[in-house]
Structure 1
Amino acid sequence: MKRSQHLVGVLLAAAALVGITSLFGNDYYLRIVFMMCVYYLCAAGMNVLVGYAGQKSLGQAGLFAAGAYAVALLTTRTEMNPWLALVAAAGISAVCGVLIALPSLRVKGPYLAMVTLAFGIVVEKLVGEWTDVFGGAQGIYGIKALTWDGQPLTQLQWVWLGIGLCALAHLLLRNLLEGRFGRALLSLQADEIASSSVGVRVYRAKVIAFVVAAVTCGIAGALVAQQNQYINSDFITFHLSIFILLLVLFGGAGSQYGPLVGTIVLTAVDAALARWPSAQHFLYGFLLLFALYVMPGGVTGLFSKWFRRSAEAPEPSKAAAVPTRIGPGGQGELLVVQGVTKNFGGVKPAQNVSFRLQRGHIHALIGPNGAGKSTMINMLTGLIDPTEGSIQFLGQEVSGRPVHSICCMGMGRTFQNLRLFAELSVLDNVMLGRHSRMTNGFFASLFHLPNAKREEAATRARALQLLDLVGLLHLAHHPAGSLPYGLQRRVELARALATEPQLLLLDEPAAGLNPQETAELGQLLLRIGKCGVSILMVEHHMDLVMSISDHVIVLDYGIKIAEGKPAEVQANPRVVEAYLGVDEPEEEQHALCAA
């Protein structure tokens, strides 16, 4: 659905809900609808963190408390306008999101969940026992409610406000998640190493996801406090964190409509079982296990295939012009490796290795298995730091730089073992390659400003051009993981080219390819070289190496044993010995047999 059509649809749905709720004469039902709005705000932000970034958090009750107690303290101890207090509560919640993210994101998996759980428990204890500030079980009374025309909002007006905020949150998050930042967050969930290799700042993206979840949850907490004009520690429980997580998982994590479905269903169930708290807790535990093991895609995941768009070939006009220039080309030294050594305990996959790469050349790094070739590629791209030595790219030292920074400098790569974002489309994979080249920031994306529109259109057009270059234009909308292995290799190559590299590092690009595919790859690499990209490839297919390389470097047990033109290297006795071994002298063979 086009963005303008979606906007109209959301506005019409919001207007319809406002009209329907206007007919409600019972404050109890209005209260249920209001709590649906509150829980949707919590779940929508949590979906960014869990469904997109893949970070499991059990501390949302603490962020809910941050917003609730912020607005409570600001309106009871100062003369701040309650509307300004609501905005301030969102900002305070964002700060709390950063504070919880910084230590939490240094761990992964279950450890991350445990750290966030600890945060939620600490906040629960803090508001329950620091009575001088937070009131404990007695709570804080006299919180100023939001007003309209000088009068506190009625129950119906609270519902209208909740509907409006939910519609706004949905539209803003859709802007964010359907563009540059949404792709980046999904890439984190799939493969953080591959994500950083295309220029995504992994840690920063995770922090952004935490902050988004914190802001929406903080606003929800502030609304509850202002609507009740009262807040105490009974609102802040571990049960709340589990319920918010359940809203996302049950509705469908990673789906923009999953939080809405989960909120409507579970809030209605929650209201129906309000008289039986023990039954509530049992049902939540059951539904959480059910969602995790029986329908991991949630309710929306069961029906998503019915609504999935059929793959359509992109318009020829958008991809007709195959790019003639990717890198700057030119002449001179591009990369200088000087005395690089790497120690893994007693193992040394690189020992005082030195070489220089020239612009406009196709270089090959070869050697027997275990020679240290992939380790060298990983050191060049920042995945591994060398123990000793210097690596200079474009005259700048890259040792110790983060992976995304080296990518931004102009060094792209593929991996020995495929690292595609398999659930994303081929087009989205390649568009992710241009993440670091896009200039639209967080707020430009959130509000879909003209700069974000231009960058998205330019990125899409460039990605289609690169897919045309590698012969995959007709498969642009297919899931990358559904393609045959040889075509997946080409997708990874196109994604690396989308980073606009001056130097392209290929780690065994022909691995798993048949002879015809290998020959086609060789012709493709020659075409890429003519587009201004210098290449360094690690490869075992000697026919491919000798047919397209301008310069060959040979490693054996981490030591450079030869370097030069393909014919020279092929005739080098040390290279022959490294690959084929040498016959033992006849006398030694007799001696060994006699022994």
Structure 2
Amino acid sequence: MQFGKGHAIGVALAIAAIALAPVLVTNGFYLKVLFLIGVNYLAAAGLNVLVGHTGQKSLGHAGLFAVGAYTAALLTARLGWNPWLAFVAAGAMAGLFGVLIALPALRVRGPALAMVTIGFGIVVEKVVSEWQDVFGGQAGIYGVVPPSIGGSALNDSQWVWFVGALAIVAHLTIRALLRGKYGRAFMAVNTAEVAAESVGVSVYTFKVLAFVISAVTCGLAGALIAQQNQYINSDFINFSLSIFFLLIVLFGGSSVYGPLVGAVVLTLLDAFLARWPTAQHFTYGALLLFALYAMPDGLSGALGRLAKKLVPALARKPVLPAPTTGWKLRAAERLAADKPLLQTRAVYKAYGGVVPTNNIDMELTTGHIHSLIGPNGAGKTTLLNILSGIVPPDRGSIEFAGQSIVHMVPNRICAIGLGRTFQNLKLFSDMSVLDNVKVGLHRHMRAGFWSCLLGLPNAQREERAARDEALQILDFLGLLDKADEVAGSLPYGLQRRLELARALATHPRLLLLDEPAAGLNPQETQDLIGVIAKIRDLGITVLLIEHHMDLVMAISDHVIVLDYGEKIAEGKPGQVQNNPRVIAAYLGTDEPDEDDLELEASHG
């Protein structure tokens, strides 16, 4: 695993504190509190991946806690399993239930997703309460066998060491995962799902993965409680526990240290307020509101900002290496010029009585810049959304690079070489400029989940290679000096260029540009002409939607004209420019925006 100097010191101090605490603290109640801090951290660390990084709200993780607890209880008390194996099985069973919840739950979003997870938690609570023959109901399951060393069950001090060791492992592995391509993919899904799909990230896969990670850590936390108490019943499992876990994440903040901060503060507060249940619930509600409105990035974020003010050295960013070579398209993506690349036949899409794409036939040729023009409502963006898989056509055929892509999901279409930008910017605005481009490289990074989770050398080498290539792309587009800046803080024109850089990082054979000059000033528009020409010279075919006719006529090899969803003309710029019907209906319009109704209908 990769350690920075400051992080290595922090981990060493944490290990020393965990090692010394049970020696210095002998009071059983205080040891129990330390144990609960570790348990709550373990549950929250995984939940933070789901909530803080992937943006999925869950209010049912008490159910997954129950799955882990009852798995350990049943396997040891009823089936005689080795308690260590039962502990591992508890995490695995919780992960399986995480998949079972995620598959149907992630078909909905926002409040509906939270309601589905609440439903799961309630069902689990009722099952363990009412199914007495298996789960013991209110009486619960006695005789849960705890792990042992040398034939002796763990004592209070050893439980603190055990849960502390698990917490250290959880921190290191989750930190390694989130600092690499998986962490960027989670954040991309959180910020802009459509954009994440367009650069090769499977939104559904990463949502399920985040659910599984959160389920495993929550299940292990449940197993720890059952085995440490040697008893479990339905009183341990309730909706308040789900709220408590979520509060730890929201109050602590989404940083990798947030769950630790939240677990320490809220576990101590919970122990202090245990004798006053009414005040306890009121305090949790007040803290939740405070966390949501006063500290949107949690206590860890507030402490981080304070630390950087007090110690300016903490705010310094590492010096990035200057690119030594220019960026080039991967050899496997370069195609011979003047060959058919994409063909559509009778592509049709209707929204009720509105037909934005009406039997479009089109052929794009490698090495050329094609432009798609027409007034607002002509169906240009609809056609691009169909080509990139965001909107399925009602009928018709589309072949790209020799494959049919009709009804293919966007991330798969990206994987065979189609990249795009959007009419309305869809950057990952809270991520750095460099990380935005690195998300574009996601599909080319081959390190698997376990390599990234464990921070193995191959994952670290690939991460450095991705950084170097992303810097080459930024240099190619004149954004190298902005690499460390937050994407959302850039001026509009540079944000447009960054979205183009992210699309180039996918190594597209065909690049779809949806009004790249929208909102640019005349100088930026003129610079864009040179940029598009450079992209074409790299071997990338371009399909461009644009209202700036000067740009279209200056850069295009071939122009296609749409009117109310129908193709009315196509040919070389001069031919189209002199077409009487085109002159009458289209040239001279300079509307910067196009209604994107179909995109909202598909993803809204």
Provide the TM-score with structure 1 as the length reference: 0.95
Aligned to 1:263: 263
Aligned to 2:515: 508
Match among 475, 479, 483 for residue 490 of structure 2: 483
Count of residue pairs the alignment pairs up? 578
Tell me the distance in 2 between the aligned counterparts of 1:142 and 1:479.
54
Aligned to 1:592: none
Shift of 1:441: 1.6
Match among 315, 321, 326 for residue 325 of structure 2: 321
Aligned to 2:297: 297
1:465-544 equivalences under 5 Å are: 465-544=472-551
Match among 446, 450, 470 for residue 443 of structure 1: 450
Question: Are 2:36 and 1:35 aligned?
Answer: yes
Aligned residue for 1:341, secondary structure, equals strand
Aligned to 2:553: 546
Cα-to-partner distance string for 1:25-57 (whole Å, 9 max, x where unaligned)? 211100000000000001111100100000010
Tell me the distance in 1 between the aligned counterparts of 2:25 and 2:375.
77
Shift of 1:329: 3.6
Match among 381, 391, 396 for residue 388 of structure 2: 381
Shift of 1:461: 1.0
Cα-to-partner distance string for 1:454-479 (whole Å, 9 max, x where unaligned)? 22111111111000000000100100
Aligned to 2:227: 226
State the percentage of identical aligned residues: 58
Shift of 1:367: 0.9
| AA matched with 2:525 | T
Shift of 1:18: 1.2
Tell me the distance in 2 between the aligned counterparts of 1:562 and 1:88.
65
| AA matched with 1:335 | L
- Residues 365 and 553 of structure 1 are in contact (CA less than 8 Å); yes or no, is this contact kept in structure 2? yes
Question: Are 2:311 and 1:310 aligned?
Answer: no
Shift of 1:198: 0.7
- Residues 329 and 507 of structure 2 are in contact (CA less than 8 Å); yes or no, is this contact kept in structure 1? no
Tell me the distance in 1 between the aligned counterparts of 2:17 and 2:280.
31
Cα-to-partner distance string for 1:147-178 (whole Å, 9 max, x where unaligned)? 01111001000000011000000000001101
Aligned to 1:590: none
1:119-268 equivalences under 5 Å are: 119-252=120-253, 254-268=254-268
Question: Are 2:101 and 1:97 aligned?
Answer: no
Aligned to 1:115: 116
Larger Rg: 1 or 2? 1
Match among 382, 389, 404 for residue 397 of structure 1: 404
Tell me the distance in 2 between the aligned counterparts of 1:503 and 1:385.
19
Shift of 1:294: 2.3
Aligned to 1:588: none
Shift of 1:286: 1.5
Aligned to 1:348: 355
Provide the TM-score with structure 2 as the length reference: 0.94
1:397-476 equivalences under 5 Å are: 397-476=404-483
| AA matched with 2:259 | P
Tell me the distance in 2 between the aligned counterparts of 1:18 and 1:312.
33
Tell me the distance in 1 between the aligned counterparts of 2:498 and 2:450.
30
Shift of 1:424: 0.4
Aligned residue for 1:305, secondary structure, equals helix
Unaligned runs of 5+ in 1: 582-595
1:359-374 equivalences under 5 Å are: 359-374=366-381
Aligned to 1:277: 277
Cα-to-partner distance string for 1:277-316 (whole Å, 9 max, x where unaligned)? 1211111112112212222221122233343633565222
Deviation above 4 Å: which 4+ runs of structure 1?
none
RMSD: 1.4
| AA matched with 1:3 | F
Shift of 1:186: 0.5
Shift of 1:502: 0.4
Aligned residue for 1:320, secondary structure, equals coil
Shift of 1:211: 0.5
Tell me the distance in 2 between the aligned counterparts of 1:11 and 1:226.
28
